Amino acid sequence: MDADGEEKPRVHSSKSRSVSVARRTSKSKGAGLRDESEKMRAQKLADKAQRKMNKRAKTGEADRVIITKMPKHLFSGKRGNGKTDRR
């Protein structure tokens, strides 16, 4: 409202409201394969690869181990100069 009691007309921007962008659709499973037989073959190979991990039941793809190159219990307190190698 103005000081005189009149309402000012609303001023709109020249651009219209921008349209929101639709989310990209994810590729369906097996989209890069030619036909149904190739999809079946790929699925069989995937199952076969998983079978070995299931048999061992301990290590999988995510169970990667970085072994310590210098284990602390072997290198702590060792001086490496003549006979003074133990405490």
Q: What is the mean pLDDT of each run of 10 residues along the chain (87 residues)?
A: 68 64 77 89 93 80 76 73 64
8's CB contacts (< 8 A; 6+ apart) are: 2
Cα distance between residue 58 and residue 46, in whole Å:
18
Does 27 fall in a domain? no
* Number of domains making up the chain: 1
Does 9 fall in a domain? no
Threshold 0.85, pTM exceeds = no
Structural domain for 55, as ranges: 36-74
Does 41 fall in a domain? yes
Does 56 fall in a domain? yes
Does 49 fall in a domain? yes
Tell me how far CA of residue 5 lies from CA of 2, 8, 13, 39, in angstroms: 5, 10, 25, 73
Does 25 fall in a domain? no
Does 14 fall in a domain? no
Does 5 fall in a domain? no
